[in-house]
Chain A
Amino acid sequence: MATDHPIDVRHVASLARLELTEEETATFQPQLDAILKYVESLSALDVEGLEPMAHPVPVLDVLRDDTPLPSLPPEGLLANAPEQAQNQVRVPKVIADA
């Protein structure tokens, strides 16, 4: 495992769309360094030839008949949206100005 690449908390937070304060960054950096140092203990294990176990039980595609069933009522779903207009969720502008 890479030990020469300690986690860059600010960068990774940015990838995860988290805007951390300076104080949070300073608190999390040593905590996450300690956690990563601990989990590196797994590098000592021989895992050659093992299949990664993504799920505790075999997960297969489950198909049902292509029959329309009732859906959740739109008004109940829209009521949870921070902003709504014209029976739709209102979102900030996605495409920047030219």
Chain B
Amino acid sequence: MSLSSSTIASLRRQLSAGDITPDDILDDLAARIASHDGEIGAYLSHDLEAARRDAAASDLSKPLGGIPIALKDNINALGSPCTCGSRFLENAYTSPYDASVTAALRQAGAIPFGRLNMDEFAMGSSTENSALGRTVNPADPTRIPGGSSGGSAAAVAADLAVAALGSDTGGSIRQPASHCGVVGLKPSYGRVSRYGLVAFASSLDQIGPLTKSVEDSALLLQAIAGADPRDSTCLDAAVPDYLADLDKGVAGMRLGLPKEYFGEGIDPAVREKVEAAARKLEAAGAELVEISLPHTEHAVATYYIIAPAEASSNLSRFDGIRYGRRHGDGSDLIETYRRSREEGFGPEVKRRIILGTWVLSSGYYDAYYSRAQKVRALIRRDFDEAFGKVDAILSPVSPVAARRLGENDDDPLSEYLADIYTIAANLAGICAVSVPCGTIDSGSGTQLPVGLQVIGPHLGEATLLRVAKAAE
């Protein structure tokens, strides 16, 4: 097994035994990127020399000592670009600081290495909205890797990275993980600091790991979870040992199957794989319980009011003044804003800014934004009631396997509707993970990965990972 296809846990054992050095891993990754990333397109940039300098200084006694971790290109790392997949920031921004997660990775001995492609400003579910490059699914290069953390998922799946961090606002870690066949964890809101993550929708965004195994997911979460004085929404709650109970299995657990997540719109082949995964957990001693999350059908509408509203506010900082590209002749301030934003943003970002501006505008605020926030409370209540009956919830991640490139180019609403199973966890602020549960035949000679979603209560990551490990 090559180093780049190994798990963090395996590499750590080899490093500790003195069989390999951090440079060996970097060299293997760099060679693999050189030979394969031309086809996959996972990376926007990588700086091997900087990584080598970090590797020379890495402390192998630390939990992630000597392990290179790739970052989605919306997470700041000192001295690196951070384009967010946007022309606005391309060749026009160098991070003057480390995000708190980047600092935490370094503190744990890891080496940040490589910047991964994404839908522009994390808006999308296919990575096709990146202005800076195309990423394809390693399982079938005619298909999307999912998104918005498509570069992160494709890199880990194609062994172009050992592990990566992504961000998840409505499914942007879990859906690409499902499409590419890797493990993707969205932690509970407030579990991981957002400081240094370029904000999309601040009440929904969370950073999380994409990895080759559930154990690696636990290892990375351990390193990045916990309070941060730089993010007032990051909770000062104790961080448990996520590895301690990982192998304890699901015997005696109650696992809920929400009937709304298995109905109309799901590909029967996907449903079959997810149901088989649930039966496997039942055979391992869990009790399966049918539950109801009655407001599921309203999650997409609620999300596509709240997320664009927050985005329209957050993206007002991109004005061509303090960072990024400035357009226009510079004679007029308003003209500078308008020209810079017109040239810098792609179509999906503009659509969402317009939608968000509209739902927040006078006369529509109560009917749309305020109402959506109330429905959000109903969605949260559904989960609170469900977790009174079950320890965790099992569902599909996406109603379909990875679609072909280009299929929804002119139909943003159809693209939004496919987010149905992932969005509610962000609205409720709870944790959820995608773990591979088999593949289905594409009909054109390829096998497409399918993910099982495990949803847990707020700060229930330890239970979540334990269920995911049993399903792995």
Cβ–Cβ contact B377 & A73, under 8 A: no
User: B312 touching A53 by the CB < 8 A rule?
Assistant: no
* Chain B binding surface, main DSSP class: helix
Partner of A57, one of B304, B323, B351, B458: B458
Per-residue CB proximity of B312-343 to A under 8 Å, as 1/0? 10001001111111101011111111110110
Decide: A52 and B374 in contact? CB cutoff 8 A.
yes
- Given contacts A2-B364, A32-B355, A42 and B302 within 8 Å (CB-CB): yes
User: What is the total number of residues of chain B having a CB less than 8 Å from a CB of chain A?
Assistant: 75
Residue B353 CB within 8 A of the other chain: yes
Query: A98 within 8 Å of B by Cβ?
Result: no
Q: Are A1 and B331 in contact (CB under 8 A)?
A: no
Task: Give the number of A-B contacts (CB < 8 Å).
Answer: 188
| Partner among A5, A18, A83 whose Cβ is within 8 Å of the Cβ of B353 | A18
Q: Are B189 and A80 closer than 8 Å at their CB atoms?
A: no
A92 at the interface (CB under 8 A from B): yes
Q: Are A19 and B342 in contact (CB under 8 A)?
A: yes
Closest CB of chain B to A94's CB: distance in Å?
A: 5
Tell whether A26 is near chain B: CB-to-CB under 8 Å.
no
Is B332's CB under 8 angstroms from A92's CB?
Answer: yes
User: Which residues of A are found within 8 Å of B373, using beta-carbon distances?
Assistant: 52-54
Indicate if the CB atoms of B321 and A91 lie closer than 8 Å: yes
The verdict on A17 contacting B416 (CB below 8 Å), with A12-B357, A45-B375 known, is no
Contact partners of B430 in chain A: CB under 8 A: 56
* B16 at interface, CB cutoff 8 A: no
- Minimum Cβ distance to chain A for residue B410 (Å): 8
Are the C-beta atoms of A89 and B377 separated by less than 8 Å? no
Mask for A39-76, Cβ within 8 A of B = 1, else 0?
11111010100111111110111101000000011001
Q: Within the assembled complex, what's the spacing in Å between the Cα atoms of A83 and B458?
A: 45
CB neighbours of A53 from chain B (8 A): 373-374, 376-377, 380
Given A2-B363, A41-B301, A56-B203, A81 and B323 contact (CB-CB distance below 8 Å): yes
Which of A28, A64, A91 is B354 in contact with, Cβ under 8 Å?
Answer: A28
Contact bitstring B371-389, A, C-beta under 8 A = 1, else 0: 1111111101000000000
The answer to whether B351 touches A38 (Cβ under 8 A) is no
Return chain A residues, CB-CB under 8 Å to B380.
53, 56
Taking A18-B338, A19-B339, A27-B347 as contacts, is the C-beta distance between A82 and B232 under 8 angstroms? no
- Is A73 a contact of B357 with CB atoms below 8 Å? no
CB-CB nearest in chain B for A7 = B358
- In the complex the two chains form, what is the Cα distance from A43 to B180 in whole Å? 37
Chain A: number of interface residues, binned into ranges: 35 or more
Q: Kindly list chain B residues whose C-beta atoms are within 8 Å of the C-beta of A50.
A: 374, 377-378
Could you tell me the distance in whole angstroms from the C-beta of B237 to the nearest C-beta in chain A?
10
B280 at the interface (CB under 8 A from A): no
**Hey, which chain B residues are within 8 Å of A89, CB to CB?**
321-322
Distance in angstroms from B310 CB to nearest chain A CB is 10
Of the stretches B91-99, B141-149, B268-276, the one at the interface is B91-99
One of B232, B354, B378 near A47 (C-beta < 8 A): B378
Measured CB to CB, the closest approach of chain A to B313, in angstroms, equals: 10
Tell me which of A57, A91, A93 contacts B429 (CB under 8 A): A57
Q: Are A15 and B189 in contact (CB under 8 A)?
A: no
Chain A residues within an 8 Å CB radius of B339:
19
Bound-complex Cα distance A47 to B373 (A): 10
Distance A52 CA – B309 CA, assembled complex (angstroms): 14
**How far, in Å, is B56 (CB) from chain A's closest CB?**
23
- Bound Cα distance from A16 to B358, whole angstroms: 9
Chain B residues in the interface with A (C-beta under 8 A) = 92-94, 96-97, 189-190, 203, 229, 232-233, 235, 298, 300-302, 304-305, 312, 316, 319-326, 328, 330-339, 341-342, 345, 347, 350-351, 353-355, 357-358, 361, 363-364, 367-368, 370-378, 380, 410-413, 416, 427-430, 458
**A residues engaging B (CB < 8 A)?**
1-2, 5, 7, 9, 12-13, 15-21, 24, 27-28, 31-32, 34-36, 38-43, 45, 47, 50-57, 59-62, 64, 72-73, 76-77, 79-83, 89, 91-94
Residue contacts A-B, CB under 8 angstroms, 13 given: A12-B354, A18-B350, A19-B342, A32-B358, A35-B351, A35-B412, A39-B372, A41-B298, A42-B368, A47-B378, A57-B235, A62-B232, A89-B321
